[in-house]
Every structure is written in structure tokens, then in C-alpha cells.
Structure 1
Amino acid sequence: MPGSPFAWIDEQARARRRAGLVRTLRPRPADSALLDLAGNDYLGLARHPEVTAAAADAARTWGGGATGSRLVSGSTELHADLERELAAFCNFESALVFSSGYAANLAAVTALAPHGSLVVSDAGNHASLIDGCRLARGTTQVVAHADPEAVRKALQTHTGPAIAVSDTVFSVDGDAAPLAELAAACRASGAALLVDDAHGLGVLGDGGRGAARAAGLAGAPDVVATVTLSKSLGSQGGAVLGPAHVVDHLVNAARTFIFDTGLAPAAAGAALAALRLLRREPERAARARAVATALYERLTAAGLEAVRPDAAVVSVRAPSPEGALRWAADCRAAGLAVGCFRPPSVPDGVSRLRLTARADLTEAQIGRAVDVVTATR
């Protein structure tokens, strides 16, 4: 009898265990006493009473699910309001909401990179952008991280449609892309620029209006941005922002929009409430950045190797994958939840602890986090 058709899975599992790279699910209790610096709730809005009340109201009004794709029955008045207000807040002409930020990135890259096009992708881009490049019908060229000159040279070799793709804030180290220089490199060849502002919205720009706004690129006819609703806005979902004719093209050509069930009304309602709250309390963005800076300065003063944050992500180098896993586990045992990034999630192969700053952290909580991380190293 032939062996199991999934024997190769068992071998891969053994290899992961040997390398210290096994990933496991850990359900989070509703009343956890952990100080959470692992999630992406940058503005502390996920449990804000206005946000949770809006989610509940939307579910009662529209139901637990969207019931279908956006083009069939999945578009509600909430979706339209969210798109209109999100575009206005970020200073783009139009917006289109998706069921996740991942789906938004897949849509933007694949729909804007047809046959004969060139996609120039930063080596440090998020997995969703990478997967979009893999699925796109154009040719992808990966260039050095945060290197506008490499982008310029890649675009100069192509004569057809072209687009450069980059995170605005990279999720591993929290460093920001040189957006103005990237835009200049694109414009020198008549190429478009697509930026993923998942970690910029709510943190960077005037009142948290995003990295594209901060760089003076929001609303430009050759710039498209994607955002997630699951980080600063404390909800779930994603959106593509850009010129109206680009958004209309996505409605007609983006497979993750046409064939996916629409974002649940509760998530749309929560995101809209969070957006309105941020507009009313713009100081939350500056506070998130200040907390990140405080964490970085205190950790480095204690002798740890950390990357200076450009937004709200603070990355601390670990000695090895096994060391990172142990360090994160020891932090958890001491009451602090931190992210643990190991290969293949880190493009340079260097494992890290990843701390996410939150605008609602108190000075006492910042001090506690620093004490735990330094004591458990």
C-alpha cells in the first residue's frame, strides 16, 4: 500500500520543531490580565464604548453578516458612509471597503498589474503585497529595501504600464518608507505608486490621516493607498483609496471584491465610529508615537538593541528563534504580551520581539513593559 499522501506535512512539522519555528494558536480570554503590547490596537479603540456600541447597533440593524458579495447584497448604507468618510479623512477622491486588509492588497496589486506591466516591489513588503505580486499577471521585480534609486533603475528598464509597491511603515522593524523619493522615482518613468498604509493610518500624518497625507501624496492622480481597519480603527476589514476611476476599475476587475462576501456590518459600524472618534480626538495619533518613542528610548538605555520607531512599532532584536520564543513566553508569564517574529516572517532572518505602542498606555504601564522586557532577556 502506498504511504500517506500527506507524509511530507509530517516531515515539514518535524523540521519546524527542530528549528524552533512551530506556531500555535493561543485563544485570548475576554478578561485577560495581560498588558497587551502584541496586538495592533494603536489608538486603544477596539474596546472603546462608542466603537463597541456602534458594532452592536450595526449587527442589530443589518444582521450578523453582510449576506453576500458587495455587488449582490453585501453593500449597506454603513459601507457607503465608511467609504465616503474614510476617503475624505485621508484626502483621497474615493475609497472601496474590503473584508480584510489582505484582500484589499490582493485586489489593488492584481487589478493594477495587467499583462505586460511591471511591478517593482520592496524586499521588506508585507506578505499580502507579496502574494498580490505573485498573483498579478504582470512581471514582478523585487528591489532592495527602502531604496528609491533601485526603484528608479528598475522602472527605467520597462516601457509599458508600471507600478511600484511598498509598505509605508514596515511591520517588522517599524521603519518608514521614503515615500516622497519613491513617488519621484515613479514619476520620472510615468509609473504609479501603490502604498500599504496599514501601520500609518491613525498614527502618521495630521491627526492620524496617514503616511501618504504626511508625504503630500494623498489625492495625487498617480498614487493609490491601501489601509486596514483592524489596527488604529480597532475593527476589521480593509480599504483601497485613490482616484475615482481607479476605484471604479477595482469594482469591475478586483476578484477579492467581486467574489468575496462583504465586510460584516458590525465591523463597518465599528470602523466608522472609530474614524469619527479619531477625527474628534486627533491627539491620539501623537500620543501613540510618543509612547513608541518612550519604549524605544528606555529599552535601548537598558542595553537592548531596538530599532528607532517611525510610527508605533518597536522592534527588539532577539538572539535566535528559540531565544525569541523563550523571551516572549517569559514576558507572558510576567504579565506582558509581546509579539514574537521569527523566520519566515522576518525577511532578514533575524528574530525579534515586537512591541506595539498604544495611545491609551499610562506612564506606569510603559514602565512596567520596559521592566518586564529587560528583566526577562
Structure 2
Amino acid sequence: MSQTYESPDLPSSPVSALSPAWRHVLDQPMGMRAELDRLRRHAPFYDATVDEIDGRRIRIGDHWLTDFASCNYLGLDLDQEIIEAVPEYLDRWGTHPSWSRLIASPRMYDDIEHTLAALLGAEDALLLPTITHIQLSVLPALVGKGALFVEVHAHQTAHDGAVVAAAHGAAVARFREDRLDRLERRLRTSPHPRVVCVDGVHSMTGNGPPLAELAALTRAHDALLYVDDAHGFGVVGERDPAASSPYGSRGNGIVRHLGETYDDLVLVGGFSKAYSSLLAFVACPTEVKEYLKSTAGPYVFSGPSPVASLATGLVGLRVNAERGDAIRARLHRLTSRFLDGLRGLGLFTLNASGFPIIEIPLVDAAQAEPLGRFLFERGIFASVVPFPVVPREQVGVRIQVTAANTNAEIDHLLAVLAEAVERFPLVSVPQARAGD
């Protein structure tokens, strides 16, 4: 399926010198972000305009590339059953009933929340537009003037939420999941409410946290464990001897995958990755859901998710129930094909889970841009992750496999990486860094 957008011929706006008010904004020092700004302006693999898609092939200008930067893990963005179902909902609801959720919500919200809670095995669920909205509003609402502990490798939006929480009076600290003894000492003396925030699946390594240890620790100290499962939801699920792949069954998230319960645990997830839709959720007790309806800003003030996104999520849940495990089995086969090939090249990755996020680190962080250009020129569109997006020692290229990729595309990527090994200082297995 090829989809092309033709840009209309629009008159160009006149370019004029910026006023002093704008110059004061732009003359502020960018600090570490200056390097990211330079890459954004000059590297073809950043801030790109995609002109056409054909399966997992994309066209940027005159360049056709295979997309390994997408998080559409299940390939539902290209699923014809979902695409063909959306117009029915648009006919019924229009494009965007623009109430805040506090005022009113289309029936689809209730349908998704009930279906989602049953899938997750949680008491209830609350839908909001994005996980970013949730981090910036729900985290501060939960912790109040208590204590918030955010794992150092948690997603940047969680740290942004911590800034908001601190501004509202919370005591905020960072911790490392491999130093839980230090977290325990802090929990003993911290004020209530206490909230500990971690990623469910880390967005660079693809690995999960020590969830059982964290859950036991937080429960012992009357704290809430807040798990951001942006990447895991839809891919990993409850373990079952009859499961079609090691990812488990049903795609109902990292909590079920690791055999934990929702006792004193808040699960946050999104539809924007596995389900290819603009929608996110908080899984929590019903009484907490009612509390958040009055205290979480996006529920009170924000515009809702578009009808097309709600429809995509609702039909996607149906597709997941009917054939999601078969899709995940294909995703696992493709990911294993890539990981096996990567090991065959002698390259190192922190991925120990088999999850379809695979980072290949660089010995020399300065080689990130040349490596990105090398891949781009050979038809590979991947996430080059530079400093300061990650620490210098974690700079590398991140590959995301989806069920819509093909064996041929995986093999082409491996062939390009085999060529890259000869030209760039990629970390090989014997070079793996101390502590990795």
C-alpha cells in the first residue's frame, strides 16, 4: 500500500528580521542541546519530511528507505481491517467532538476503558490523549506534597513530570534500579504519599525492570509503584505454556508478563506504539480514577483524542483479541532473525530480552552522525541516538523491528551493518563496556 501526499502550492511568507523580543528568545544559550539542534538542522535522518509510504518503505525526497525507526510494533498502522473500520465512526461522531472529558465523552471512551481494564486484568482504566499528558499531570496529582522517586533511566517525560511535582511541593529524588538498598533507606523517612516511577520496558535497551523486587519494596513502605509501559503494552503479555512466542499472550503488558499484581501499582501505557493510535491510559482502582478526573489537568482542560484515534484503538483491541498473538509471533521471529544476525557480526547490544528495540552502541560518540548518514545513503532509516539525548557512553543507533517488516528488509539491514562494521567503531562483544 502506497500513500502519497502532494503539497499544495502556497504563497511563501515574507522573510523579515526578527524583532528584539524574538531575538532575546533565540539568543539564550542552548547548552548541551546545541549539538542536537545542529543535527536536527543538518542531518537527513532528523526532522525529516516523509513524502510517501509503501509498507515499511518510506520516501524522503528522492530517497527510498526501509523504516527501522517506527514504534508501530504490531504493524497496525497498515492493517486494512482497522483502516476500513474508521469511516463508520467518523460518520457517527464527526472528526472531533471537542469537549474536555470533564464535560462529556463519546461512548467510545467507556467502551475502550472497559475492554482495556479486562485485557490488563486491572480494576479500571482512565484514557487521556498521551503519556506525556499523564506524566505531567497524573504523577504530580498522585504524589502531591509527598515524595517522588524517579529511576535515572526512566523516560524524559517522567523526569519532566517530576519537575512539575517539585513545583507543587513534592520532594523529588532519582534512584538506580540496581541500587534498591539506597531507595529503601530514603523510603523509610520520606513523607507520604510516596511514589516510585520506573519504565516498564526501557526505550533504549528493550529490557525490563526488577519489577518483583520493586513491588515488594514499595508495598513494604506503603508506597505506590508507577510503571510507564509505553513500549511493553501490546507486545509482551501474560506467560502461558501455549503462548505463540516468548513475548507471552494477549499483549497485556509488563505487569502481567512478569507475574505481578496491581496491588499498590499504577500502570501507564499508550496506544501510540503497538496500537498506532493517539491515546494513552492509566490503569488504577476505580476510586483513584474518580480522583484523577478532578485532579489531572488533561481530563479537566485538554481537548480529547480525535475520533479516528479512538476508533483505531477500539478496533485495534478487537484485532488484538482475534489475531494479536499471531502478529506477535511474527514480530518475535523477525526480531530473533535480526538479533541472531547481529551476534553473527560480533556486535554487542544491551538487549537481553528479545524485545524489538535493539541499540547498537558506538565506541566513539562523535561517529553518530557519520554512521547515520552511512545508513541513510544505503536505504536504512534508523534512530541515531546522540548526546545529549543519552549520555555519551550510550550513544549509538537504535533499531526497532515491527511485524510489518519483511525477512528481506532484515537481511538488507544486516548486510548494511556488516559493511558498517568495517568503517565505524561499533561496540563488539569482546569490547562490551564494564558493567554492561
**What are the residue-to-residue correspondences of 1:89-238 with 2, within 5 Å?**
89-115=119-145, 117-136=146-165, 137=168, 138-206=170-238, 207=249, 208-218=251-261, 220-238=262-280
RMSD over aligned CA atoms reads 2.3
Q: Aligned equivalents of 2:31 and 2:344: distance in 1?
A: 39
Structure-1 residue corresponding to 2:380: 336
Q: Does 1:52 align with 2:52?
A: no
Query: Share of identical aligned residues, percent?
Result: 25
Structure 1, 188-197 or 271-280: larger mean CA deviation:
271-280
Q: How far did residue 348 of structure 1 move?
A: 5.6
Q: How far did residue 14 of structure 1 move?
A: 9.6
Q: Aligned equivalents of 1:15 and 1:211: distance in 2?
A: 33
Number of aligned positions between the proteins: 373
**Alignment counterpart, residue 317 of structure 2, candidates 275, 284, 296:** 275
Q: Aligned equivalents of 1:165 and 1:240: distance in 2?
A: 13
**Alignment counterpart, residue 367 of structure 2, candidates 323, 331, 338:** 323
Structure-2 residue corresponding to 1:61: 92
Q: Which protein has greater RCO, CA pairs closer than 8 Å, 6+ apart?
A: 1
Structure-2 residue corresponding to 1:371: 415
The structure-2 alpha-carbon separation of the partners of 1:256 and 1:358, relative to structure 1 and needing over 3 Å to count, comes to same
> Would the aligned equivalents of 2:70 and 2:402 in 1 still touch at CA under 8 Å?
no
Q: Aligned equivalents of 2:154 and 2:297: distance in 1?
A: 21
Q: Aligned equivalents of 2:326 and 2:189: distance in 1?
A: 44
After superposition, give the CA deviation of every residue in 1:223-251 in whole Å (9 maximum; x if it has no partner).
Answer: 11111110001111211111111111111
**Alignment counterpart, residue 101 of structure 2, candidates 42, 66, 70:** 70
Q: Aligned equivalents of 1:359 and 1:29: distance in 2?
A: 22
Q: Aligned equivalents of 2:123 and 2:391: distance in 1?
A: 34
Q: Which amino acid aligns with 1:303?
A: G
**What are the residue-to-residue correspondences of 1:300-311 with 2, within 5 Å?**
300-310=343-353, 311=355
Equivalent position SS for 2:75: coil
Equivalent position SS for 2:150: strand
Structure-2 residue corresponding to 1:34: 65
Q: Which amino acid aligns with 2:163?
A: R
Q: Aligned equivalents of 2:65 and 2:332: distance in 1?
A: 22
Q: Which amino acid aligns with 1:362?
A: T
Equivalent position SS for 2:394: coil
Structure 1, 50-59 or 338-347: larger mean CA deviation:
50-59
Q: How far did residue 293 of structure 1 move?
A: 3.4
Q: Which amino acid aligns with 2:129?
A: S
Q: Aligned equivalents of 1:111 and 1:14: distance in 2?
A: 31
Q: Aligned equivalents of 1:185 and 1:38: distance in 2?
A: 36
> Would the aligned equivalents of 1:21 and 1:342 in 2 still touch at CA under 8 Å?
no
After superposition, give the CA deviation of every residue in 1:87-138 in whole Å (9 maximum; x if it has no partner).
Answer: 11111111111111211222321110111x1111100010111111111131
Unaligned runs of 5+ residues in structure 2 are 1-18, 42-46, 59-63, 239-248, 425-436
Q: How far did residue 3 of structure 1 move?
A: 6.4
> Would the aligned equivalents of 1:221 and 1:242 in 2 still touch at CA under 8 Å?
no
Q: Which amino acid aligns with 2:26?
A: I
Q: Aligned equivalents of 1:201 and 1:19: distance in 2?
A: 29
> Would the aligned equivalents of 1:193 and 1:223 in 2 still touch at CA under 8 Å?
yes
Q: Aligned equivalents of 2:188 and 2:101: distance in 1?
A: 38
Q: How far did residue 258 of structure 1 move?
A: 1.2
Q: Does 1:288 align with 2:331?
A: yes
Q: Aligned equivalents of 2:291 and 2:220: distance in 1?
A: 24
The structure-2 alpha-carbon separation of the partners of 1:79 and 1:170, relative to structure 1 and needing over 3 Å to count, comes to same
**Alignment counterpart, residue 404 of structure 2, candidates 351, 357, 360:** 360
Q: Aligned equivalents of 2:282 and 2:144: distance in 1?
A: 18
> Would the aligned equivalents of 2:142 and 2:193 in 1 still touch at CA under 8 Å?
no
Q: How far did residue 320 of structure 1 move?
A: 4.2
Q: Aligned equivalents of 1:211 and 1:333: distance in 2?
A: 37
> Would the aligned equivalents of 2:36 and 2:387 in 1 still touch at CA under 8 Å?
no
Larger radius of gyration: 2
Q: How far did residue 294 of structure 1 move?
A: 3.0
Q: How far did residue 213 of structure 1 move?
A: 0.9
Structure-2 residue corresponding to 1:264: 306
The structure-2 alpha-carbon separation of the partners of 1:18 and 1:314, relative to structure 1 and needing over 3 Å to count, comes to closer
Q: Aligned equivalents of 2:371 and 2:73: distance in 1?
A: 23
Unaligned runs of 5+ residues in structure 1 are none
> Would the aligned equivalents of 1:45 and 1:274 in 2 still touch at CA under 8 Å?
yes
Structure 1, 57-66 or 261-270: larger mean CA deviation:
57-66
Q: Aligned equivalents of 2:138 and 2:284: distance in 1?
A: 10
**Alignment counterpart, residue 85 of structure 1, candidates 111, 115, 119:** 115
TM-score (norm. length: structure 2): 0.79
Q: Aligned equivalents of 1:39 and 1:344: distance in 2?
A: 21
Q: Does 1:23 align with 2:40?
A: yes
Q: Does 1:240 align with 2:262?
A: no
After superposition, give the CA deviation of every residue in 1:184-205 in whole Å (9 maximum; x if it has no partner).
Answer: 1101111111100111111112
